[in-house]
Amino acid sequence: MDAMPSDSVLLANRPVHRMGFGAMQLPGPGIFGPPGNRERALAVLRRAVDAGVNHIDTAQFYGPDVANELIHEALHPYPEELVLVSKVGAARDEQGQWLPAQRPEELRAGVEANLRSLELDQVPVVNLRRHPDSDVPIAEQLEAMIALRDEGLIGGIGLSNVDLDSYRLARSLTEVACVQNAFNLADRSGQDVFDACREDEVPYVPFFPLGSAFNPENPVLGAPSVRETARRLNATPAQVALAWLLHKAPKVLLIPGTSSLDHLEENLAAADLALDQEAIELLS
C-alpha cells in the first residue's frame, strides 16, 4: 500500500485520511444503471484503497444498487481500517428519477439494504439526507436513526443537505458524526453550516467539491482564479480546488469521485498541494 500523506480525522471514532473517495460516479450516466466499463470501475476502487484511501462514500440509491455492489466485489472482505459511509433518505424509480424516502420506516429499510449489499453487520456511518421538501420532522427521523445506532446497525449518524437550524437541532439530540453539504469554491451558500461545524469540530464533507456533476459548465474548474493558481503552482485546477477545501478547516474530509484512474491519481495528489498566501488570497 502506498503511503498517502494526509492528516487523520476521527469519523465516528475511527481515523480516516482527509482525502477519501466518493462512489457516486461509478454507475452509468446520471448515476443510473451499470458502469460503462465495469473492470475500470473495480480497478478505480482497488487503486484508491491501495493508495491509502480509507474513507469511501456511497449510497444504495447510486445506480440504484450499483455502487454498493461494485464496492463489495472490489474490496470485500474489507480492510480493517476502511470506513464505509452511506446515506438514506432517497430512492430511485425505474426511469432513474430521484424520489424522497424520508419516513422512519424508509430510513430503516435503506439501512438494511446497505447492510445486505455491502455485506456488513454494521455500516460505520450513515448520513440522514434531508429532502428540501420533506414533510417528516427531522426530530422524528433522528429518533429512527438513533434507534438503528442503538441496535448496532450503524456506527455513527451523519447529516446531509441540512440547514443551520436542522444541524443545531440534531446536535441537541445526538452526536453528529459528520455533515455532508454542498460546498466548493463557486458555491459557498452553505457557509453558515460550514462555520458551525468548524466551530463545533464536527467533520465536514463537502459534496460536489469540484462542482456539480450535473453542471457541464463547471464554475469551479473554469474560474479564472483557479486556473491562474493552477498554472502558477504547476498543478491542475482540480487539485487547486481540493487543496482550497482542505485549507478551509482541519476537519474537512474530501470525497471526490471519478471513474477514471488518471483522475483518481490527480485527486489524490491534491493532498500534497500546499497553497501559498497569494493563492489563498486570490481564491478567497
Task: Give the catalytic positions in this structure.
Answer: 62
The candidate with the shortest Cα–Cα distance to 162, out of 147, 143, 142, 144, is 142
Whole-number Å distance between alpha carbons of 188 and 181: 10
Instruction: For residue 90, give the H/E element and its range.
Output: strand 90-92
Helix, strand, or coil (residue 133): coil
Using an 8 Å Cβ cutoff, are 101 and 90 in contact? yes
Helix (H) or strand (E) holding 102: none
Asked if 24 and 63 touch (Cβ cutoff 8 Å), the reply is no
For residue 146, count other CB atoms closer than 10 A to its CB.
15
Could you give the CA distance from residue 183 to residue 253 in angstroms, rounded to a whole number? Answer: 12
Q: How many CB atoms lie within 10 A of CB 33?
A: 13
* 112-117 contacts, C-beta under 8 A, 24 or more apart: 112/153, 113/60, 114/60, 114/68, 114/86, 114/88, 115/153, 117/60, 117/65, 117/68, 117/69, 117/72
- Give how far the C-alpha of residue 37 lies from the chain's centroid of Cα atoms, to the nearest Å: 22
